[in-house]
Structure 1
Amino acid sequence: MTLAPRAVLVHRRTEYEELLAHHGTPGQAAFFLAARGRSVTEVEERHRRQADALARAAAAVPLEWRRTRVERADLPRFLFEPEDVVVVVGQDGLVANVAKYLDGQPVIGVDADPGRNPGVLVRHRADALPTLLPAAVARTGARHLEERTMVEAVADDTQRLLALNEVYVGQPGHQTARYRLTVDGAPDSASDSGTAGRSSSRPPVDDRPRADPPEPQASSGVLVGTGTGATGWCRSAWLERGAPLALPEAAAPALAWFVREAWPSPATGTSRVHGVLDGGRQLVLTVESDRLVAFGDGIETDALELTWGQSVRLGVAATRLRLLG
């Protein structure tokens, strides 16, 4: 017997709920804001819009489907099923938060606060879900599933991390990160990739990709981002660097990487501070600090822990986000 699809409604606590959790009562929260020249009305209104969008999303789920809800903080402990259709109700960043836990399940982004969110990933309104949910299961018709590239970080002890926007590798206390950087799989510029005109007396040239020699670096960390992330943190780094390269498109199997504030010294270099990873190339960092971390999409609480001598590889992930257009 085939299981009915399950709608998983993903949301996060609102600012108003955070205030209540901290201050205990609505009156205390209102007093706290009023004492600082702010009104509780604006956060109450955003809370109301979020609750309304969630209620309408739940009501749109077909009666024969299964359904559940999961709050962002519970995502690391939630088990997604192959039959799931994931409905993200909230901000664009919430889609990135959930993407790392999925394995091909279709995602529908619902904008809970139109006009406040850019709507890059949460493109739909809750009122459209009666049509979108069956389309996500049928995977036919006018709606299509857009596949977006993700970035993967894999440590030499098999720790693994996925991210939709970017992975940051650096010192957790925002001090100087020390490491050796290698672009693995970069074509050897000295090799002859062709065979025409090659003398029969010469040995054949090894055309396999070769890694550049590692460069010791000291910096504020390394950022490796996707085309989706090219609208956020990576774009900021790209602009500060003077737009030295073309940022990848969201679906392109390529990543852009940037070294933040590389420091030149007799022992550290700055010759490699940005680039594009495509064609299967990876960025390899070998740790030369007591401790570095790698985290994705700004979630520092879910990070890879890296100690002196360990290495981490960053490249295009086999997993892709499947977003309903």
Structure 2
Amino acid sequence: MSSAPRVVIVHRRTELDELLARHGTRGQAAFFLSSRGRDIAELEDRHQQTVRAIERVSTAVPVDWRRGTLERADIDRFLFAPDDIVVVVGQDGLVANVAKYLDGQPVVGVDPEPGRNAGALVRHDAKDAAELLRSTGSVEERTMAEAVLDDGQRLLALNEVFLGHPSHQSARYTLDVPGAGGEAQSSSGLIVSTGTGATGWCRSIALERGSQLAMPAPTERRLLWFVREAWPSPATGASLTAGELTGGHLSVVAQSDRLVAFGDGVESDTLVIGWGQTVRLGVAAQRLRLVG
């Protein structure tokens, strides 16, 4: 086996790619956009920025290294090797999409449209790719969350895990919290968030409630959890609705025919939890190793 590492460049189709796939020709896509007050020139410019960034990263890979290119839709079917270096060219969310399929491989986040993305995870410019590929020993290890079913199925997330009913119906379950006991609940579901996810959905819930819980740092081995809209009734309670996890797990026993758990908003990658099954939510052993 070759000792040279493999660089895997991960990207997603641009908005222009998706429009052309849907409408067939540039003219039809341009007409569709103009009818909604948009100009296709904007999408073409952004498309070219992404193409140039991918080309620049590819050019930066040393000639004696192996390389591969991976589209977002194929991530769950791709086999990452232990010595891969993963370069994500796109938005912050694309890093979260790929993180759950990795096990220690370093990730370089490249922003193809500087100033448009938040840049929390895609921090780098494509022009710095050559230097970054040579300095993957300098990484920030970001905490991830996990959901583990009693049958061994497992799900990872960089931002947060959501557990609830697959529709807008109430989820029925029994929640057991380390050190606080258990409670039967009916709610809109619950989320378990990492420090990376604490700037998004988790923070929104915390602000709405006026929560005094301190948000975890992205590298901190601590999670926050929130139950959404718990309904107090003769059979269900609403006393256990928020907290933090530094050790142990939340334990949830399904009391509905079908609950689901998914990570980072990707509903296509879902654990299905049947009546009476138990899922445990907590800090994952794996971490995202983010370069620079």
Shorter-chain TM-score: what band? over 0.9
**Aligned counterparts of 1:216 and 1:43: Cα–Cα separation in 2:** 50
SS in 2 for 1:46: helix
Deviation at 1:149, TM superposition (A): 0.3
1:178 aligns with 2:172: yes
**Aligned counterparts of 1:134 and 1:39: Cα–Cα separation in 2:** 40
5+ long unaligned stretches in structure 2: none
Deviation at 1:8, TM superposition (A): 0.3
Q: Paired residue for 2:264, among 297, 302, 305?
A: 297
Q: Paired residue for 2:186, among 191, 194, 218?
A: 218
Deviation at 1:321, TM superposition (A): 0.5
Q: Name the amino acid aligned to 1:178.
A: R
The 5 A counterparts of 1:157-176 are 157-176=151-170
Q: Name the amino acid aligned to 2:25.
A: T
Q: Name the amino acid aligned to 1:216.
A: A
Q: Name the amino acid aligned to 1:92.
A: D
TM-score, normalization by structure 2: 0.98
- Aligned structure 1 segments of 4 or more residues deviating by more than 6 angstroms: none
Percent identical residues: 64
Deviation at 1:213, TM superposition (A): 3.1
**Aligned counterparts of 2:221 and 2:143: Cα–Cα separation in 1:** 6
**Aligned counterparts of 2:241 and 2:287: Cα–Cα separation in 1:** 27
Deviation at 1:244, TM superposition (A): 2.5
Equivalent in the alignment of 1:247? 215
Q: Name the amino acid aligned to 1:314.
A: L
SS in 2 for 1:41: helix
Deviation at 1:2, TM superposition (A): 4.8
SS in 2 for 1:265: coil
Deviation at 1:21, TM superposition (A): 1.2
The 5 A counterparts of 1:296-315 are 296-315=263-282
**Aligned counterparts of 1:127 and 1:84: Cα–Cα separation in 2:** 21
TM-score, normalization by structure 1: 0.88
The 5 A counterparts of 1:110-189 are 110-136=110-136, 139=137, 144-184=138-178, 186=179
**Aligned counterparts of 1:34 and 1:253: Cα–Cα separation in 2:** 49
**Aligned counterparts of 1:3 and 1:172: Cα–Cα separation in 2:** 45
SS in 2 for 1:214: strand
Q: Paired residue for 2:283, among 311, 316, 319?
A: 316
SS in 1 for 2:133: helix
Deviations 1:85-108 (A, max 9, x none): 000000011100000000100010
The 5 A counterparts of 1:44-63 are 44-63=44-63
Q: Name the amino acid aligned to 2:104.
A: G
SS in 2 for 1:135: coil
1:276 aligns with 2:244: yes
1:27 aligns with 2:27: yes
**Aligned counterparts of 1:267 and 1:247: Cα–Cα separation in 2:** 32
**Aligned counterparts of 2:31 and 2:49: Cα–Cα separation in 1:** 22
5+ long unaligned stretches in structure 1: 187-211
Q: Name the amino acid aligned to 1:316.
A: V
SS in 1 for 2:134: helix
SS in 2 for 1:151: strand
Q: Report the number of matched residues.
A: 292
**Aligned counterparts of 2:83 and 2:181: Cα–Cα separation in 1:** 46
Equivalent in the alignment of 1:192? none
The 5 A counterparts of 1:229-248 are 229-248=197-216
Aligned-residue CA RMSD in angstroms? Answer: 1.0
Equivalent in the alignment of 1:202? none
Segment drifting more, 254-263 vs 36-45: 36-45
Q: Name the amino acid aligned to 2:141.
A: E
Segment drifting more, 267-276 vs 232-241: 232-241
SS in 1 for 2:113: coil
Deviations 1:69-96 (A, max 9, x none): 0011100100000110000000011100
**Aligned counterparts of 2:31 and 2:53: Cα–Cα separation in 1:** 28
